[in-house]
Amino acid sequence: MDFLQQIRKRQKEIKLSNVFNFSPVTNEERNHLIKIYSLLALGTMITALSCYVDIYFLKIPRFVASIVSLICSFALASSCNYSHYNRNSVSTSKKRLFYFAGISSSIGILISDYIAYVNYLNPSILPLAFFGSLSIFSCFSLSAIFSKNRISIFLGAVLCSVCSYVALISFVNFFIRSRFIDTTLLYVGFFMYMGFVLFDTQITLLDFRRGNKDYIMHAICLYLDLVGLFTHLLRILGQKEEKKKNQSEALLKNLEQYSMRKYLCLHASNCLSSSCLVPPNTIYLLNFLGFLNRRLRGIINRNKVGKGRRGRTYCSTVGKSPTKMDYLSQSLAQQIDNELMSEDIGYTIEQLMELAGLSISHIIFKEYNLTKFKKILICCGPGNNGGDGLVAARHLKSFGYDVTVTYPKENNKLLFKRLLQLLQHYKISVLKFITPEEMDEYDLIVDALFGFSFRGEPRKPFDELIRMMNSSKKPIVSVDVPSGTNVDTGLSTDSLSIDCEINISLMLPKEGMRNYKKKHYLGGRFIPDSIVMKYNLKLPSFEGDSSYTQL
């Protein structure tokens, strides 16, 4: 009994804090490190939150984020110097925390585009890069804390030398544009940030022992190291994923071409050998080749040569699509559009516009009650998307709506002049300019400014018109792609993109609409079977004689 009582007495005397006390740091140093890592975690959360908000909710212009980052950096540097020389870090702590929050949020905005791109390549890359960089940072930082041998002086000299060489080579590579040098610098930068984690952690402890208790400045240094590790690891993993995707697509293309040539020859010989009995059935042959293509894609997908893409892609049907249909990239949509109007197919641009405009008007008539949404404003651009809007205006007028068209930049081609002439006979007003007050008088707005051929950023006068449409708070229906949105990525380069409640895709949905969460229709129904078989397209089903279907 005495022995058991002694054991229990010793167990009560054990302090849990001493179990993990492997480091030679004192309690004051430990409390200082806790403040630093807490602020580091807060800055990381602010960066992640600002990145999430910028991608999914509020698109903030990049130049604004850059200006905010520069202003906060200069203000933070000056306030840190002031507190260092005056030995008073408490008086400016609130200001510096505010500046640190500004830097953290602006960094999240600046890296959001690349994060969205990597998320489209492979969504698993993002958590892998984050937790990988976090584990590397933790290991190097803890090893610097627990290490009794201080190598900060020598490590600092080496890192400064490496930074100088990296800056010089980067400047030279700006003119050479060498892929090899760029990849090498990426890996060198990644290892360089590992060294900076060691260096900054040891410098933090040395500064504290010398009397510098400015935990905010120490946290900022480690925060920049963590962000550098994360961005470099993200780029490395993203480049590897891009390379893997390109290889899988090239393999798929070669296998498809080989299989089609092989089976075409085989079935051609079979048809010729039996031609004395049964004429060759070309429809059967084409259907068989389409079936073979689909089976081949399934085999490649099961062997995980490539995975399905989400968000951004260049129209590969490798992998399982979230919906049983294809999404077209900008280049492939343009290619199919040109082929539809070729001599081989025989469509004219007028026919395609009429079919598209008619389906748009039918969808609007289905979704928006004539009594509640009597007045409709159709905003038309100078291209074919605007032509679809002009045709839809005529049909909506025939359905009983009070339609007005705003056409800031008219197309001088004969086709568009005839479409405008038709609107005059339907007594549809065409406005060159419109004010916000005039726009608020309408019940519904149709966005027919830019279609799948749009590139770059909206310019005047369309940028002001897009802002006006978004600020009107009226329901907006977009034709093909919301104006200002990247056709392949679904993202906008700045805040100039239409926030629509319904999107009406034409021909097939574009890649940028893959993650579109609101109501989505497909209109037109004008793709012939020959195009479907040639490109092995997956079309959604249309009911009866309807020219549209809801996706």
CB distance 89 to 213 below 8 Å: yes
The reply, when asked if residue 447 is annotated as ligand binding, is yes
Q: Which helix (H) or strand (E) holds 550?
A: strand 548-550
The reply, when asked if residue 73 is annotated as ligand binding, is no
Q: How do strand 519-523 and strand 548-550 relate by DSSP bridges?
A: antiparallel
The reply, when asked if residue 383 is annotated as ligand binding, is no
The torsion angles phi and psi of 447, rounded to 5 degrees, stand at: -95, 100
The reply, when asked if residue 259 is annotated as ligand binding, is no
> Alpha-carbon distance 233 to 519, whole Å?
37
b vs e for 44-62, b when ≥16 Cβ sit within 10 Å of the residue's Cβ? bebbeebbebbbeeebbeb
The torsion angles phi and psi of 405, rounded to 5 degrees, stand at: -115, 130
The reply, when asked if residue 443 is annotated as ligand binding, is no
Q: Quote the crossing angle between the two packed helices 27-56 and 93-110, to the nearest 10°.
A: 40
> Alpha-carbon distance 314 to 321, whole Å?
14
The reply, when asked if residue 470 is annotated as ligand binding, is no
The reply, when asked if residue 451 is annotated as ligand binding, is yes
The reply, when asked if residue 453 is annotated as ligand binding, is yes
> Alpha-carbon distance 425 to 135, whole Å?
70
Residue found under tokens 């389906």: 359
The reply, when asked if residue 385 is annotated as ligand binding, is yes
User: Helix, strand, coil: what percent of the chain each, to 5?
Assistant: 60, 5, 30
The reply, when asked if residue 452 is annotated as ligand binding, is yes
Residue found under tokens 């890649």: 511
CB distance 166 to 173 below 8 Å: no
N-term to C-term CA, the chain: 77
Q: What DSSP state is assigned to residue 540? A: P
Count of CB atoms within 10 A of residue 377's CB? Answer: 25
The reply, when asked if residue 389 is annotated as ligand binding, is no
CB distance 401 to 536 below 8 Å: no
Count of CB atoms within 10 A of residue 8's CB? Answer: 9
The reply, when asked if residue 536 is annotated as ligand binding, is no
The reply, when asked if residue 416 is annotated as ligand binding, is no
Residue found under tokens 């056709």: 487
> Alpha-carbon distance 162 to 168, whole Å?
10
Known binding residues? 384-388, 447, 451-457, 480, 483
> Annotated binding site for K(+): which residue ranges?
385, 447, 483
Binding-site residues for (6S)-NADPHX sit at: 384-388, 451-457, 480
